[in-house]
Structure 1
Amino acid sequence: MSAFIQYQLISFVRSLKFIPPFIAFFVWVFILYAYKNVPILSSYGASSIAMYLIMTWITMSIFTLDEESEKHILISHLKRKVSYLFGKWLTILVVMLPLLLFAIFFPIITESFKGNMSLMLYAYAFYSHLVFMTFGILVGTLFSATKLATKKYAWLSAVLIIVISLSAKSIIEISLFFKWILWVFPPVFKVIGYMEGEDQVLINIPVILDSVFVVIYIIIGTVILISLFMKKER
């Protein structure tokens, strides 16, 4: 598996597909912290949303690195089809790491925040970025590693999913009917909703329940994607 991940990383770098999403993310963060004394949680919320978009982009780029014939050769070397999927995800996690560290520590190094970091703020910052990264990986995988990848408007569909999930709160306010439809979309506001207002995170029942819901959503989404991938590769 390590050889496969190394091969994917080399292919990703040589393809130069990493340049647009990396530049877009760095520019977003630089602009976000162009001014000093910015609030902590809402700023991390903005960079988490950026991470959601960028990880969807990177995921779709990495899954489209291999031609169909090359993919079958790689799967034969890996012995199991699901190992190909896991290998891709592990590659994405490696690519994700420098972006995560940059998003968390850049404003701290540049002293951009108006308040002081605490252990709880660190924990929730990592949590929010990791969750939004995972949402991006799930959306990107859905439209690049399943039968939906063959559709003409895969990229447009991925963007539509992101836009709807980010605007879900406003859509529900229009009519509660949409609440029973939008649960299939990534529960963005189960995370971002606690990053508005004052720079403090309280561990209470609503936070715990929403966090559990997010984890369950990610687990179910992962299982469904594995199933869809295996059906595509039959």
Structure 2
Amino acid sequence: MIRYLLADLLRSQRFVPPFVLFAACIGVLYGGDPGNARPVYGVSTLLVFPLCAWLTVIVANNEDPVQRRITVAAVGGWPRMLGGLLGAGAVSGGVLVLLAVALPPLINFHHPYQLDDLVLALVAHLISLCVGLALGLVCSRPLIPTTGWSLLAVLGACLVLIVSNDVPPVGPTAKLLFDPARPPATLFLLGQGAVALAVLLLALGACHWLGRRRG
């Protein structure tokens, strides 16, 4: 199921705009001397969050409603379809996470990247991935039927969460990165990760319940 959805995504080429936007933002961030590693990773953490949500919406809405019903019947029901959507969204968003964490040490060679910086950045970006997956799932079919409204909902929710940067887990995690003098707080990160997983599980539960009712 995941392989089918990813192949369909590649054929549609609808993944190109979020990846182009990601490349443009990374180019701006690292075009000059961005300074210490952690603050810039904080920016990319906030960037990955809406892009992962956008990619999840694209994966979820790539098929038209008629084709979606056929696919659901072919794979044996909505729960398997939902698992495939989650897996395909995680893979496509995971590519962004890997690029966001691995590219800066190659580009920004003026500043050393310590192992704890990379680990902290990876955890922060994975938290953004989880929340982005959750937001993308609840902003796509069957909860929101059209892609245009889905993307508007994603944009609105991301603006609220990013501007109100005290709302866990993405905002507080990014604020930790913005302060390079602040030591990594393992318990804090574990707490934010737990919140991100809880948000994702709630989103899956809502999609599972509504998808079965409408299926």
Q: What is the TM-score with the length of structure 2 in the denominator?
A: 0.87
User: Match of 1:193?
Assistant: 175
Q: Is contact 2:42–2:175 with CA below 8 Å preserved after alignment? A: no
Matched, 1:76 2:73: yes
User: Match of 1:221?
Assistant: 203
User: Match of 1:155?
Assistant: 151
- Bigger Rg over Cα: 1
Q: Equivalents in 2 of 1:8, 1:72: separation in Å?
A: 14
Q: Equivalents in 1 of 2:90, 2:142: separation in Å?
A: 19
Say if 1:112 and 1:30 are closer, same or farther in 2 by CA, change over 3 A.
farther
Q: Equivalents in 2 of 1:204, 1:97: separation in Å?
A: 22
- How many angstroms does 1:81 deviate by? 1.1
Q: Is contact 2:52–2:133 with CA below 8 Å preserved after alignment? A: yes
Q: State which of 111, 128, 147 in structure 1 corresponds to 2:124.
A: 128
Q: Equivalents in 1 of 2:16, 2:147: separation in Å?
A: 25
Structure 1 SS opposite 2:87: helix
User: Match of 1:109?
Assistant: 106
Matched, 1:23 2:20: yes
Say if 1:151 and 1:30 are closer, same or farther in 2 by CA, change over 3 A.
closer
Q: Structure 1: state its 5+ residue gaps.
A: 173-182
Q: Is contact 1:187–1:214 with CA below 8 Å preserved after alignment? A: yes
Q: State which of 5, 10, 27 in structure 2 corresponds to 1:13.
A: 10
Q: Is contact 2:52–2:136 with CA below 8 Å preserved after alignment? A: yes
**2:201 aligned partner, one-letter code:** I
The farther-off stretch of 189-198 and 19-28 is 189-198
User: Match of 1:202?
Assistant: 184
- How many angstroms does 1:92 deviate by? 1.7
- How many angstroms does 1:156 deviate by? 1.6
Q: Is contact 1:124–1:201 with CA below 8 Å preserved after alignment? A: no
Q: Structure 2: state its 5+ residue gaps.
A: none
Give identity over the alignment, percent.
Answer: 17
Q: What is the TM-score with the length of structure 1 in the denominator?
A: 0.81
Q: Equivalents in 2 of 1:150, 1:30: separation in Å?
A: 32
**1:158 aligned partner, one-letter code:** V
Structure 2 SS opposite 1:148: coil
- In the alignment of these two chains, the number of paired residues is 215
Q: Is contact 1:121–1:200 with CA below 8 Å preserved after alignment? A: no
Deviation digits for residues 15-58 of structure 1, max 9, x if unmatched? 12011111111111111111235221111111111111211111
